[in-house]
Amino acid sequence: MSPENAFKGILTSLPKPGGGEFGKFFSLPALNDPRIDRLPYSIRILLESAIRNCDNFQVTKDDVEKIIDWENTSPKQVEIPFKPARVLLQDFTGVPAVVDLACMRDAMKNLNSDPKKINPLVPVDLVVDHSVQVDVARSENAVQANMEFEFQRNQERFAFLKWGSSAFHNMLVVPPGSGIVHQVNLEYLGRVVFNTDGILYPDSVVGTDSHTTMIDGLGVAGWGVGGIEAEAAMLGQPMSMVLPGVVGFKLTGKLRDGVTATDLVLTVTQMLRKHGVVGKFVEFYGEGMGQLPLADRATIANMSPEYGATMGFFPVDHVTLQYLKLTGRSDETVSMIEEYLRANKMFVDYNEPEQERSYSSYLQLDLADVEPCISGPKRPHDRVPLKDMKADWHACLENQVGFKGFAVPKQEQDKVAKFSFHGQPAELKHGSVVIAAITSCTNTSNPSVMLGAGLVAKKACELGLEVKPWVKTSLAPGSGVVTKYLQQSGLQKYLNQQGFHIVGYGCTTCIGNSGDLDESVATAITENDIVAAAVLSGNRNFEGRVHPLTRANYLASPPLVVAYALAGTVDIDFEKEPIGTGKDGKGVYFKDIWPSNEEIAEVVQSSVLPDMFKSTYEAITKGNPMWNQLSVPTSTLYSWDPNSTYIHEPPYFKNMTMEPPGPHGVKDAYCLLNFGDSITTDHISPAGSIHKDSPAAKYLLERGVDRKDFNSYGSRRGNDEVMARGTFANIRIVNKLLNGEVGPKTVHIPTGEKLYVFDAAMVSNMKLMLE
């Protein structure tokens, strides 16, 4: 809090129920402004932040008035400053942020100032979760083996992050093998209410990962931002943002039997994409909220980027408080959170008459209308009801190449590619599942769908069904808690029998870290031009993201991932066709292996226990032997290695002077790329594998890096030279200048030459420099 705070007159004490006080807070009711009662809860969080930080310099009284008058000002696209309470990073995006901080320190030294002044001013939490790949699957030893590979590839990056955790104040690094950033944020890092130096205020967070929004399910305002915005927030600068409109999304009823949280989120995603929510907050309300467990809310909030909203916000209520207790937050902390939010009109109590809030627009969904579904084959919002999947798949084979088409000629559609898999006969067809992965933050934080997957595996084992050995199956939990409750329930052994051994605690397949397919499978796909499928419990399925050889990628709930792995194909009507033949020689159908909601709830009740969260997170920052053995210098400044291909000293601050040089002119500029719709960050800055013929591959080979050690674009984001070459390097990008050809090339307009995007940019750049 600034000493010159313009609103210190409304600082109010928050008493403890048993005597004493929790601290002081800026009271919204003390403003005595009736407009506040109509504000959406998400806007109240922006308002409290503006009041608490109001110094009439970075944040002014006029900014506060704009937020209070939200009903009138938000349609006018007014700008406001926002200071989040903390910043969240993962290692792909965290490494370049720490690189920038390190080179800022160098710049301070070069300008004869104190480098130690460069430090985050708000808490920064960095979780190393994006580097583990599924090199080893279907093995009891997969976790250890994959972590060893992870450390071999990433030792230099990890040592750099470990240096940063001690060199900078206010920075916590959660070591590899601990879980997925968003699940760790939900179960451990999320404060909900801060108490800093006796001042209470709502938790809010910006993160350098678009799925930071998962924390919105916990009533914490959070969303993903670019690296520069995150670094500004770290250094205490307010973010400038347009005061958003808020879509009120009313939930009624309850989910039917057999319907999962994943089915719900895919339905919500499709509805919100259709409604149009880009740049807006979505706030959920209604009597259906009381029926929605926190893990289901987090699942919906997680996929905000896929429906295009800045946030998918669930205000704090009794369900939130129950979850905080379950995940090991102390009774005193939970009591403080409840008392503060009630006192500041930020708590939803379903026993009290609901005050009417104002929203920019409204949507409604009866949870009973949600049906089982999956999404694909190329976009998260292309929802397909399960009952229509077979017909939809055949339409996709037939359709012209596009988001819903592969243009496979009629006579080729029933092609069978026979091959030998480790000495046994195997075959692939269009739609054959070659990757089945229970992965990603979206679903692996949700006990009901994870234990549901275990029950499907158990029922399949008991009936004699088995996943074919050439399907690459994997299970990557979002935290160590998942392993504890899968073991407590006795279901992990059945998942193992179906090949879903735990492969690591990180994002894996969802971000393209799916590892190689077996060579025989890869050869069968490429030689026969098979449209192979991946089914994953992830949040994104854009072409080229999951694996270069899976052209069809479907998002599904964890239990459905197991079901499709057992079927071995997406070309199946689960209502009418058997998944396989049981040990009694009879057909086994989907309904025979699908658990009821009651069965799942029973296992959740008996297997998910508070002690699991406490014991997991007590040890989380202690690391693992490989992390603890990394030796790093204790220096204030980083010692750059000019030969490193991972951590490269960037050029931004070299030769920097106290006076800025002024803008450069633009001369003879040509169009570099011409895109249509649905170009995502995946296309602009891919995180996945580095193609052997790409400019980035050429750069690495010239520096003596073997192809097997390329790692991924995401893992090399600490090297600006690799990232410049990786920009627009997605192998499935569609550039209109190429007249229908797919790939990361463009036309150099002055010469008409077809070049990689980086090379075309550099030809023009070189010409300018010569002039």
pLDDT at 1: 47
Question: Is 635 within the bounds of a domain?
Answer: no
Q: State whether 470 and 561 are in the same domain.
A: yes
CA separation, residue 100 to residues 234, 530, 650, 661 (Å):
12, 44, 8, 20
Convert the pLDDT of each residue in 748-758 to its tens digit.
999 999 999 99
- Assign residue 138 the CATH number of its domain: 3.30.499.10
Q: State whether 687 and 552 are in the same domain.
A: no
Residue 140 CB neighbour total at 10 angstroms = 10
Question: Is 669 within the bounds of a domain?
Answer: no
- Section 663-686 average pLDDT: 87
Per DSSP, the residues of 564-624 read: HHHHTBS---TTTS-SEE-TTSSEE-HHHHPPPHHHHHHHHHHH--HHHHHHHHHTGGG--
Question: Is 638 within the bounds of a domain?
Answer: no
Domain edge (last residue) among 618, 640, 659: 618
Whether pLDDT at 244 is above 60: yes
How many angstroms separate the first and last alpha carbons of the chain? 52
> CA-to-CA distance for 173 and 588, rounded, in angstroms?
48
CA separation, residue 98 to residues 162, 306, 438 (Å):
11, 28, 31
> CA-to-CA distance for 442 and 446, rounded, in angstroms?
8
Whether pLDDT at 660 is above 90: no
Identify which has the larger pLDDT, 613 or 512. Answer: 613
Whether pLDDT at 202 is above 60: yes
Residue 677 burial (10 A CB sphere; 0-12, 13-18, 19+)? exposed
The dihedral formed by the CA atoms of 650, 654, 656 and 662, expressed in degrees to the nearest 10:
-70
Domain edge (last residue) among 368, 400, 421: 368
Q: State whether 541 and 443 are in the same domain.
A: yes
Residue 170 burial (10 A CB sphere; 0-12, 13-18, 19+)? middle
Q: State whether 319 and 199 are in the same domain.
A: yes
In contact, 447 and 608? CB cutoff 8 Å: yes
Instruction: Quote the mean pLDDT of the chain.
Output: 94
pLDDT at 3: 55
For 120-247, where are the alpha helices, taking DSSP H only? 142-167, 181-184, 227-234
How many angstroms from the chain centroid is the CA of residue 383? 19
Identify which has the larger pLDDT, 445 or 701. Answer: 701
Convert the pLDDT of each residue in 413-422 to its tens digit.
999 999 999 9
> What angle do the packed helices 480-488 and 447-463 form, to 10 degrees?
40
- Section 368-386 average pLDDT: 96
The helix/strand count (H/E) of the chain reads as 27, 27
pTM of the predicted protein model: 0.92
Q: How many CA atoms lie within 13 A of 276 on its CB side?
A: 2
Whether pLDDT at 765 is above 70: no
Q: State whether 191 and 249 are in the same domain.
A: yes
- Section 611-616 average pLDDT: 94
What radius of gyration, in Å, describes the C-alpha atoms of the chain?
A: 26
> CA-to-CA distance for 299 and 434, rounded, in angstroms?
26
DSSP category for residue 22: E
Most distant pair of Cα atoms in the chain: their distance = 82
Q: State whether 360 and 304 are in the same domain.
A: yes
Convert the pLDDT of each residue in 98-125 to its tens digit.
999 999 999 999 999 999 999 999 999 9
Domain edge (last residue) among 312, 335, 368: 368
Question: Is 391 within the bounds of a domain?
Answer: no
Instruction: Tell me the residue type at 224.
Output: G
Question: Is 27 within the bounds of a domain?
Answer: no
Instruction: Tell me the residue type at 472.
Output: K
Look at the chain and count its residues: 771
Structural domain boundaries, residue 154: 86-368
Q: State whether 261 and 345 are in the same domain.
A: yes
Convert the pLDDT of each residue in 427-478 to its tens digit.
999 999 999 999 988 898 899 999 999 999 999 999 999 999 999 999 999 9
- Assign residue 733 the CATH number of its domain: 3.20.19.10
Q: State whether 347 and 417 are in the same domain.
A: no
Question: Is 665 within the bounds of a domain?
Answer: no
- Section 18-26 average pLDDT: 95
Convert the pLDDT of each residue in 255-272 to its tens digit.
999 999 999 999 999 999
Instruction: Tell me the residue type at 619.
Output: A
Of 613, 624, 304, whose CA–CA distance to 483 is shortest? Answer: 613
In contact, 61 and 6? CB cutoff 8 Å: yes
Give the pLDDT band (50/70/90) at residue 766: low
Domain count within the chain: 3
- Phi, psi (degrees; rounded to nearest 5) at 239: -85, 135
Q: State whether 346 and 416 are in the same domain.
A: no
Of 537, 557, 541, whose CA–CA distance to 386 is shortest? Answer: 557
Asked, as a colleague might, if the bond just before 380 is cis with ω within 30 of 0, I would say no
Indicate the range of 224-228, 271-275, 394-398 predicted with least confidence: 224-228
Instruction: Tell me the residue type at 240.
Output: S
> CA-to-CA distance for 564 and 580, rounded, in angstroms?
11
Q: Can you read off the two tokens belonging to residue 202?
A: 């709502």
pLDDT at 140: 96
pLDDT at 678: 79
- Section 659-686 average pLDDT: 87
Q: Can you read off the two tokens belonging to residue 468?
A: 């074919």
Q: State whether 440 and 562 are in the same domain.
A: yes
Q: State whether 192 and 309 are in the same domain.
A: yes
Question: Is 31 within the bounds of a domain?
Answer: no
Question: Is 3 within the bounds of a domain?
Answer: no
Convert the pLDDT of each residue in 303-325 to its tens digit.
999 999 999 999 999 999 999 99
Whether pLDDT at 390 is above 50: yes
- Section 761-767 average pLDDT: 75
- Section 540-561 average pLDDT: 94
pLDDT at 136: 97
Q: State whether 204 and 290 are in the same domain.
A: yes
